[in-house]
Chain A
């Protein structure tokens, strides 16, 4: 049900582009107004969200330590999983962000015949890595539409990505890795009772949206080939604030509309983990709380039970027991 609603929402987006561009002539709306709006919401939304997070302080150092602490010289510290300095914490963050360290650690719990086992399971790690890196490369590939001349690294990347040289125009490996990974993540949610139970519509929606974006993209490249020069001219137009929607088929507009939706949805959704992962206090801090003093900005004196009050209450008994007293 939750998945169906999300799927329906994405289909409505596609339909809107079809009706608006193929049946009507709303190219200005879908090709200019919506993308501008989406880009603005994306940028402003992210900035507002990150500033909002930043406005709340980090009162305590609470790194989750996942390895040996730095203590005695003969005991080897695990610098990346239990950093003791800011640099080591940055190393930990790099590993987390670039290689998904924590997902790599995953061990699946298996209960069989009353026996528990914890099996290494790296599927989620592999799929997440494939998904994020293929998306990154696809985004970088698209930079060819944003620059004239095309930056060299984009060309190189594109050539490497298309090294198989199958079909005309050639297929890119990342396109299929991307769609494969999204499909896996979707199937994992749908086909596994536990995952289905904990998923929300907000978990399916982005996945369907990515599928729609990927499929419309492939469609334009391989089936209903779009006039790339027109598209590039239109994108450049948007960039220099001289917009003119390209005279191309509705599939392109569907692709663009989905991307616009993604951008506008981004700051309000779980996709903000992109920013949040940098700010997670259990990962980005060094475990140096005992070595260095840290300040909690809202620390304040609180009522305490002082020794004097304590001795006042128990003085007689303490005297009887022969315990030393501050006040006789």
Chain B
């Protein structure tokens, strides 16, 4: 580790050290191994004022490294009541508490275990952290046999362990794919976090965005006039590189389509280029659509907080669609946003009978798969345009880019959107290469920073958790000369940039709509010399390594 840097800086770590992972479990049983809060591996606590703003209980000042976490007087009662309530509300929780056989099939599937070797990051043990307490207080055998039945009493130490390891799970569900009973550790992590919240124990990186989103409509706290400035600034940038003037419709009543995308795309590179891509694409299509400042967040950190908070934040989309009188909703490139929209939105806040089944005004395609929710993904929308030849794409403009695609966890494992983005990328780029089987599609690896873990103070865990993805990128970089990692997720665009800088330096992260808009031949455009990043369009690439095949699409072995 570098002395000149701090644990929250990338430079503090070196790949050669991080990838030397020791999988040998400690000599002590996991129940007797204390939790150590190592700088770089945990997240700072939330602020009481944020909790107060969204009506969360027991907000107080504390720090993970403190001996005393200043728990409320009756904290045990609170946890047990909370557990009982959740066992009654969720069959998943109840069944998953009972049926794990500890077969270990999930053990080496978690990126945090792979990159860190801490046995409590094996999904099975992560769940046992909670299950052991469940056994102790909710099952007959556990009450009688105690430790021999795998039970243990709830203590402040156990809470610390929960906090540490439930914030070392990105709720990516990769473990669930391999479990013979589909046990979803993400579901258990969600319950664990909800229980901790009852005691006022949560992290700032989640709660602050949640509070901001509640008030301003987006995680970043961008206020309406600020968002307008931002979008118009992007439109100017688009005009600068394309010569096409673009109007930005905001809060426009009577638009046909409400467009909602994660706010990460308003703020930082490379997400902003994707955002410019949206503007260019919608303009070119002549879409009668609108942005909203009130519902200016596609993502939903409520998902990482509690079912109730998720519902409260998500409610803005339908409310705004109704107020503006649109026909249906189009969603931008985001990962966890799509878990919420595909699996929760309609149940929580629907059915939105005031909307129409989404129908592409360009192709006439009716999206039957969103018949009830009335919201489709921009990749579904764009794949349909591509299929019908409605976009004039000059893929050669992306010839400087040798692209691979990262399936984001939620679109892959909570939706199954695998082919749509691939169809779009292949239409916009000539050079597309898959990462190795076992690291893509439903088996894809998390970026290491999802579910509210993507903050710099958690840098060590992000790099460790990002190792499997990073190494897979490095593999195609070496083999095929890949230099762009495409991802349709705003968290990915932020976190994978760090992961690539560390594990596969030289590979840049890009949204898919950025690639599309780059290739898009627009009416009235000037001679395109710059891409949206204002780099020369057909940048010279170094020749790919000798052993790489020159097919447009190569399945990596």
Interface residues of A (CB under 8 A from B): 5, 49, 52-62, 64-72, 74-76, 78, 81-82, 84, 96, 100, 102-103, 105-109, 111, 114-116, 118, 124, 128, 193-195, 197-203, 268-270, 272-273, 276-277, 279-283, 287, 289-296, 298-299, 302-307, 310-311, 313-314, 317-318, 320-324, 326
Residues in A whose Cβ lies below 8 Å from that of B370 = 290-291
CB distance from B224 to the nearest CB of A (A): 5
Contact assessment for A116 and B148 in the assembled complex, using a CB-CB cutoff below 8 Å: no
Find residues 391-429 in chain B having any chain A CB closer than 8 Å to their own CB: 412-420, 423
Contact assessment for B91 and A292 in the assembled complex, using a CB-CB cutoff below 8 Å: no
Partner among B24, B140, B414 whose Cβ is within 8 Å of the Cβ of A64: B414
Contact assessment for B91 and A306 in the assembled complex, using a CB-CB cutoff below 8 Å: no
For this complex, 9 residue pairs linking A to B, each with C-beta atoms less than 8 Å apart, are: A54-B91, A62-B92, A81-B442, A270-B102, A273-B100, A281-B92, A291-B373, A299-B348, A323-B251
CB distance from B517 to the nearest CB of A (A): 21
Find residues 485-504 in chain B having any chain A CB closer than 8 Å to their own CB: none
Considering the chains assembled together, what is the distance between the CA atoms of A319 and B377 in angstroms? 32
Known pairs A66-B413, A304-B316; A318 contacts B225 (CB<8 A): yes
Chain B residues bordering chain A, tally (CB within 8 A): 122
Contact assessment for B415 and A202 in the assembled complex, using a CB-CB cutoff below 8 Å: no
Is residue B287 within 8 Å, beta carbon to beta carbon, of the partner chain? no
Contact assessment for A307 and B319 in the assembled complex, using a CB-CB cutoff below 8 Å: yes
Closest to A69 in B: B416
Considering the chains assembled together, what is the distance between the CA atoms of A66 and B128 in angstroms? 25
Contact assessment for A194 and B104 in the assembled complex, using a CB-CB cutoff below 8 Å: yes
Considering the chains assembled together, what is the distance between the CA atoms of A295 and B283 in angstroms? 38
Partner among A59, A107, A324 whose Cβ is within 8 Å of the Cβ of B252: A324
Is residue B552 within 8 Å, beta carbon to beta carbon, of the partner chain? no
Residues in B whose Cβ lies below 8 Å from that of A76 = 419
Considering the chains assembled together, what is the distance between the CA atoms of A109 and B110 in angstroms? 10
Contact assessment for A102 and B182 in the assembled complex, using a CB-CB cutoff below 8 Å: yes
Stretch at the interface among B200-208, B266-274, B307-315: B307-315
Considering the chains assembled together, what is the distance between the CA atoms of A165 and B526 in angstroms? 86
Contact assessment for A314 and B347 in the assembled complex, using a CB-CB cutoff below 8 Å: no
Residues in B whose Cβ lies below 8 Å from that of A72 = 365, 380, 383-384, 387, 420
Q: What are the nearest 3 A-B pairs in CB distance?
A: A118-B438, A69-B416, A276-B99
CB distance from B98 to the nearest CB of A (A): 6
Contact assessment for A194 and B114 in the assembled complex, using a CB-CB cutoff below 8 Å: no
Contact assessment for A82 and B91 in the assembled complex, using a CB-CB cutoff below 8 Å: no
Interface residues of B (CB under 8 A from A): 15-16, 19-21, 23-25, 29-30, 55, 87-96, 98-105, 107-109, 114, 119, 122, 124-125, 128, 139-141, 148-150, 173, 176-184, 187, 214-217, 223-225, 228-229, 250-253, 293-294, 307-308, 311-312, 315-316, 319-320, 323, 341-344, 346-348, 350-351, 365, 367-373, 375, 380, 383-384, 387, 412-420, 423, 436-439, 441-443, 467-468, 471-472
CB distance from B441 to the nearest CB of A (A): 8
Closest to A93 in B: B182
Closest to A192 in B: B104
Residues in B whose Cβ lies below 8 Å from that of A69 = 369, 415-418
Contact assessment for A61 and B347 in the assembled complex, using a CB-CB cutoff below 8 Å: yes
Closest to B24 in A: A193
Considering the chains assembled together, what is the distance between the CA atoms of A62 and B340 in angstroms? 10
Residues in B whose Cβ lies below 8 Å from that of A320 = 225
CB distance from B272 to the nearest CB of A (A): 20
Partner among A68, A118, A269, A277 whose Cβ is within 8 Å of the Cβ of B436: A118
Residues in B whose Cβ lies below 8 Å from that of A202 = 149-150
Partner among A70, A198, A307 whose Cβ is within 8 Å of the Cβ of B102: A198
Contact assessment for B225 and A56 in the assembled complex, using a CB-CB cutoff below 8 Å: no
Considering the chains assembled together, what is the distance between the CA atoms of A323 and B337 in angstroms? 26
Contact assessment for A290 and B443 in the assembled complex, using a CB-CB cutoff below 8 Å: no
Partner among B89, B184, B365, B436 whose Cβ is within 8 Å of the Cβ of A57: B89
Q: Which of A200, A282, A292, A310 has the most CB of B within 10 A?
A: A282
Residues in A whose Cβ lies below 8 Å from that of B95 = 53, 276, 279-281
Contact assessment for B347 and A60 in the assembled complex, using a CB-CB cutoff below 8 Å: yes
Considering the chains assembled together, what is the distance between the CA atoms of A49 and B95 in angstroms? 10
Residues in B whose Cβ lies below 8 Å from that of A128 = 103, 180
Residues in A whose Cβ lies below 8 Å from that of B183 = 280, 282
Contact assessment for B293 and A64 in the assembled complex, using a CB-CB cutoff below 8 Å: no
Contact assessment for B114 and A116 in the assembled complex, using a CB-CB cutoff below 8 Å: yes
Residues in B whose Cβ lies below 8 Å from that of A52 = 94
